[in-house]
Amino acid sequence: MKMLILDDDPAMGALVRRIAERIGFVADAVTRAVDFRAACEASPPELVVLDLQIGEEDGIEQLRYLADNGYRVPIILISGHDRRVLGTARQLGGALGLDIIDALNKPLRAADLRATLERVGSTLRPLSPQVLLEAIRDDQFRLEYQPIVSRNPRKVLKLEALVRWNHPSRGLIPPDQFIPMAELHAEVIDALTEWVVREAAHDYHVLREKNLAVPIAVNVSAVNLHRLDFPDRMHAIVQGARIPDGEFSFEITEGTATRDPTQMMDVLGRLRLKGIDLSIDDFGMGYSSLLQLRQLPYSELKIDKSFIMDVTRSRDSLAVVRSVIDLARNMDMISIAEGVETEETAVLVESLGATGLQGYLIGRPMGIEQVAIWLRDWMIPVSA
């Protein structure tokens, strides 16, 4: 990200530049308006920091220059005058169609400037594997839990942990927008999966202390299975967190790329031996499902929500759902219908013999505090 600073005090320019560079900007500082314009023309900046008093000239003229020449960059204003001058310049900038994102008073507080630059930086900065890794280290993720239940007998089978990125400037980002990128780099998806397993293990105990212990399912990417030590690393976390056997399971989405089947058998087999149950996620969407079912130690099958969501309207979906539930039963596997949104759908898939239901009808993904409340309510039904 390129940033250009105009301040007639070279020490000030250097200070701003140092702070900006530490955040990841490529910064250039000039002291004269003529150099400022030359720099803009040579290579348009992506962010401008402008001092309103620059020797003979004034910053307002530079604002007009930027507007007249069509530079639509975000601008941070700095001024030693009182707040009113800054306010006026800000209004003028707005009237000229410029994007004045902040106005800071001199003497400049480094912390203020850093906060502003960080905020701008993260909105300008595209999401990248590096940004993701930093976010994992900064604990910017959170988990939500969605219940999976059977209604007859009435039982909460488990909670599925679903990750969200609580980005400091973009807000909550859904997993579909960053998991595919994380999967491009094994070390990124490995770090994320480890974070999720640790956090879920912590939350398991939060619920247990409230007498609401429920098994937890975590989503694992096929990329995670590339490393032979994956079962050992996961087992170490689960055991270190004192999670009883059988209380943690993994949902694995079948990868589209051809995986090494011997490696899959090795890794998945050892996960099972270490007390972690395995579920095949989004069943029906990949091409290798049937082969995987025969070869790999899954104990549960989740029918993709695209089939469930129109099972009451489409004869084809109905045929698929019925066959998959039969297949699971014949292989002594549990079958879960995900994406159950209506009572009609729930009744239908129950009548076909699905073991468990998951979907907005039962409960949406919720934060840990909210899920505790949900669990209490659900276990004591009003109608019972």
Residues that bind ligand C2E (CB under 6 A): 146, 162-163, 174-176, 179, 196, 219, 221, 251, 253, 281-282, 305, 338-341, 358-360, 365
Sign of the dihedral defined by the CA atoms of residues 290, 293, 299, 304, in that order: negative
- Residue of 282, 296, 337, 354 that binds Ca ion (CB under 5 A): 282
Phi/psi region, residue 332 (left: phi>0; alpha: psi -120 to 50; beta: rest), is left
| Other CB atoms within 10 Å distance of the CB of residue 368 | 19
* Chain centre to alpha carbon of residue 173: 5
Residue 186 has, within 13 A of its CA and on its CB side, a CA count of 8
- Closest to ligand C2E by CB, 3 vs 163, is 163
Minimal distance in Å, beta carbon 226 to Ca ion?
19
Please state whether the peptide bond connecting residue 10 to the residue before it is cis, i.e. omega within 30 degrees of 0. Answer: no
Question: Which of Ca ion, ligand C2E, none is residue 341 near (CB under 5 to 8 Å by kind)?
Answer: ligand C2E
**141-151 and 154-167 beta bridge pairing:** antiparallel
- Closest to ligand C2E by CB, 102 vs 254, is 254
- Distance CA(325)–CA(344), nearest Å, equals 17
- Residue of 219, 221, 345, 358 that binds Ca ion (CB under 5 A): 219
- Distance CA(292)–CA(169), nearest Å, equals 41
- Residue of 7, 251, 254, 277 that binds Ca ion (CB under 5 A): 251
Minimal distance in Å, beta carbon 34 to Ca ion?
60
Residues with Cβ < 8 Å from 274, sequence gap 6 or more? 231, 234, 235, 238
Question: Which of Ca ion, ligand C2E, none is residue 253 near (CB under 5 to 8 Å by kind)?
Answer: ligand C2E
Question: Which of Ca ion, ligand C2E, none is residue 196 near (CB under 5 to 8 Å by kind)?
Answer: ligand C2E
Minimal distance in Å, beta carbon 235 to Ca ion?
21
Rg (CA), the chain: 28
Q: How far apart are the first and last CA of the chain?
A: 61
Question: Which of ligand C2E, Ca ion, none is residue 163 near (CB under 5 to 8 Å by kind)?
Answer: ligand C2E
Q: Applying CB under 5 A, does 277 fall inside the site for Ca ion?
A: no
- Closest to ligand C2E by CB, 22 vs 170, is 170
Minimal distance in Å, beta carbon 78 to ligand C2E?
42
- Closest to ligand C2E by CB, 9 vs 310, is 310
- Residue of 7, 254, 281, 300 that binds Ca ion (CB under 5 A): 281
Q: Tell me the C-alpha to C-alpha distance, in Å, between residue 323 and each of 54, 141, 266, 353.
A: 76, 38, 29, 11
Minimal distance in Å, beta carbon 144 to ligand C2E?
7
Question: Which of ligand C2E, Ca ion, none is residue 174 near (CB under 5 to 8 Å by kind)?
Answer: ligand C2E
Which stretches of the chain bind Ca ion, using CB under 5 A?
219, 251, 281-282
